Amino acid sequence: MTPPLSHSHLCIGPNLRSVSSPHTERSRRLHLSQFLNRNLDRVNVLGQDLTTGHSGQVCVNTLSWARDGELLLTGGDDTTVRIWGLDAANVSQEYPFVCRAVIQTGHRANIFNAQMLPHSSRITTVAGDREVRVFDIEEPRSVTINQRETIYGSRQACTNILRCHKGRVKRIVTEHSPDLFLTVAEDGSVRQHDLRVSHNCGGRVCPPPLVKIKHSLSTLALSPLTPYQFVVAGESPYGYLFDRRHVGRSLQEEWGMIPQDSDDLTTCVRRFGRPQNTRNPRHARSEHITGARMSAYNGHELLLSYSADGVYLYSTADDPASDSTTMTPTSPILPSNTKHRNFGESDAIKTSFEPDVSNQTDVVELAASPSVNHRYPEHLNRAQSTDGHDTTTDEDDEDEYIEFMDAGPDEADLQPHVPVIMPRRRFDGARNVETVKDVNFLGPINEFITSGSDDGNFFIWHKATGALHGIYEGDSSVVNMVEGHPHLPLIAVSGIDTTVKLFASTKGSSKFSRIDNAEQIIDTNMRLSSIQPLRYNLATLLTHARLAMGASEEGIPECRTQ
């Protein structure tokens, strides 16, 4: 029988990335980059066996490599999180990942994100029920064990429940700590949580959010090299760069004279937008961003994926461009910003494969503040009930959230006083209309860009040129998530299917490559993307429907739009 999944059981097999010399590290990066330049082919499908995969007609909404790539976390509409690890005894299959454990989270709506907190056995999840939950699989009170996997129930493993957000919680970003992490929600807020201090959300004493924007947010990005900066985006044509170093002291508040404004914990220092002639004025109010990702390699590059448009590459170190910036829609190369602050056109063309430490000082100069206070104001409440469910309701919060979602952003809500940075490059071909697509970097020095598509494929582009590198079939319907392994030429892909596909580099041809039909695929995607459908605010419609029917959120399907 399989023992409980403790820390020692999580660390299956040897460490995938042992300590090495700088020369060895450069050689490893070079070889990994060379592998990713080859074709990719499908090497495994996780969850084909219905007894170990996500159950029912569900989507797999989240993929996350944990423990330096030793584990893969998946979560979806069935409200479970599955932990996959390599089966060392299976020598007949390439990358034989199997399900090691299942967490029955107790969420009452779709799980949108799951992350393992660094240096710990804690896993945090966010979902459409507006809750943030934390599970500790190191020492659960009791677990169910079968021959295949360990099953953790919400009562046994859940240690913390947070109900600070008033809207569906969409993304988690971890920090270099087992106790701190950020979450973003459709209520327009970003919150930082500290597991070391508890509070009671039901008592309306939740610490103020780091960010409060007057429109819905759905994505959050942070680089471990520049943890003082993060980017948020959602129902707006702009992404917003906030700098936590602008958090300062309030003497009036400390003396008990004037309470601090809860919206001023951080400062928006830059916006990221697109040239005007790439935007359709008829759809101006429906423009939104579905995915954001900051580079973990250099700390300054940013990707934003626009609905019914392409993927755009930015740099937080660029100066704002003039209002007259224009571009040719068919060209992937965009006009230069005023200044690139000593960054090259692309870090991917460097041959040394060494981290560019000198460039990091330029990023620090972008928004330096004389008043620096590393406060972490967000805290978590301990679970208040044995079943993990809130025993109170708040109709005022429900009405306020519905009114907020119905309002939509006005021009005054889009931080008009903050300067706008224009993109360096645009990546076309994928279709991002039907669902919420994430976006990602690939490669040891982020030399590739990848995104899913409504046609069931995922696309890979060369970052340095914008040229298409590959198109691969990753789902029978829609691909939403693509996550590259940190140290192996291995990519995990998920979408509407209940399964997760693993792709790896191959010397030969690929059965799942669609690059030969690239012209037809791209032409179809561009044509369908230009016919932007009428968008309804699904969150508002579902909330109204739930209130009208007196039903719980778990009975309302939300899969295809996340």
Q: What is the amino acid identity at position 514?
A: R
pLDDT for 20:
61
State residue 407's pLDDT score: 53
Q: Can you list the alpha helix ranges (DSSP code H) found in 231-304?
A: 251-254
Q: Burial, 50: exposed, middle or buried (Cβ in 10 Å; 0-12, 13-18, 19+)?
A: exposed
Identify the pLDDT of residue 411.
78
pLDDT score, position 51: 74
Percent of all residues in the chain with a pLDDT value above 90, rounded to a whole number: 55
Give residue 154's pLDDT: 86
Average pLDDT over residues 139-149: 66
φ, ψ for residue 201 (rounded to 5)?
A: -65, -35
* Residue 261 pLDDT greater than 50, yes or no: no
Phi, psi dihedrals of residue 546, rounded to the nearest 5°: -65, -45
**Residue 536 clears pLDDT 60, i.e. is over it:** no
The secondary structure of the chain in percent helix, strand, coil, rounded to multiples of 5, reads 20, 30, 50
Provide the pLDDT for residue 92. 83
pLDDT at 282 over 90: no
Tell me how many degrees the CA angle 364-213-283 measures, rounded to the nearest 5. Answer: 105
Q: At 25, is the pLDDT very low, low, confident or very high (cuts 50, 70, 90)?
A: confident
Lowest mean pLDDT among 63-77, 373-387, 490-504: 373-387
> According to the model, what pLDDT value does residue 543 have?
52
Cβ atoms of residues 387 and 154 within 8 Å: yes
Average confidence (pLDDT) over 544-562: 50
User: How high is the pLDDT of residue 134?
Assistant: 96
Instruction: Tell me the pLDDT tens digit for each residue of 370-380.
Output: 222 322 223 33
21 or 115: whose pLDDT is higher? 115
At 255 the pLDDT is 45
- Note the pLDDT of residue 52: 79
Mean pLDDT of the chain: 78
- Positive or negative: CA dihedral 213, 215, 218, 219: negative
Check residue 206 and give its pLDDT. 86
Which one, of 17, 36, 29, lies nearest residue 352 by Cα? Answer: 29
pLDDT of residue 169: 98
Q: Which residues pair with 75 in a beta bridge?
A: 62, 81
User: First vs last Cα of the chain: how many Å apart?
Assistant: 37
- Answer for the pair 514, 503: CB distance below 8 angstroms, yes or no: no
Q: Are 408 and 214 contacting, i.e. CB atoms less than 8 angstroms apart?
A: no
Average pLDDT over residues 51-77: 91
Q: Could you tell me the pLDDT band of residue 277, with boundaries at 50, 70 and 90? A: low
The residues near 308 (Cβ < 8 Å, ≥ 6 apart) are 283, 432, 433, 529, 530, 532
Instruction: Assign 399 to helix, strand or coil.
Output: helix
Q: What is the pLDDT of residues 423-475, one digit of tens each?
A: 999 999 999 999 989 999 999 999 999 999 999 999 999 999 999 999 999 99
In this prediction, residue 328 has a pLDDT band, given cuts at 50, 70 and 90, of very low
- Mean pLDDT along residues 163-175: 96
Sign of CA pseudo-dihedral 477, 479, 480, 486: positive
Mean pLDDT of 380-386: 35
Residue 306 or residue 363, greater confidence: 306
pLDDT, residue 391, reads 41
User: What does the pLDDT look like over 172-218, one tens digit per residue?
Assistant: 999 999 999 999 999 999 999 999 988 888 766 788 899 999 999 99
The confidence score (pLDDT) of residue 364 equals 28
Q: Which residues contact 362 (CB under 8 A, 6 or more apart)?
A: 300, 317, 341, 342, 343
Question: What is the pLDDT confidence band of residue 141, given thresholds at 50, 70 and 90?
Answer: low
Does the pLDDT value for residue 283 go beyond 70?
A: no
For residues 325 and 194, which has the higher predicted lDDT (pLDDT)? 194
Euclidean distance between CA atoms 204 and 538, whole angstroms:
27
Q: Is the per-residue pLDDT at 105 higher than 80?
A: yes
Phi, psi values for residue 481, rounded to 5°: -125, 135
Predicted local distance difference test score (pLDDT) of residue 155:
86
The pTM (predicted TM-score) of the whole model is 0.79
Q: Which helix (H) or strand (E) holds 2?
A: none
The answer to whether 162 and 113 are in contact (CB under 8 A) is: no
pLDDT of residue 279: 53
Lowest mean pLDDT among 216-220, 328-332, 542-546: 328-332
Average pLDDT, integer, range 481-506? 96
Percent of the chain clearing pLDDT 70 (strictly above): 68
Q: What is the pLDDT of residue 86?
A: 92
Residue 359 confidence (pLDDT) above 50? no
Label residue 322 by pLDDT band (50, 70, 90): low
Mean pLDDT within 124-150: 83
Cβ distance 482 to 474 under 8 Å? Answer: yes
Burial of 503 (0-12, 13-18, 19+ CB in 10 A): buried
Q: 124-138, 498-512, 524-538 — which is least confidently predicted? A: 524-538
Confidence of residue 413 (pLDDT cuts 50, 70, 90): confident
Q: Measured between alpha carbons, how far is 126 from 212 in angstroms, rounded to an integer? A: 18
List Cβ neighbours of 199 (8 Å cut-off, separation of 6 or more): 205, 206, 207, 379, 380, 381
Q: What does the alpha-carbon distance between residue 154 and residue 472 come to, in Å, rounded to a whole number? A: 37
Q: Is the pLDDT of residue 241 over 80?
A: yes
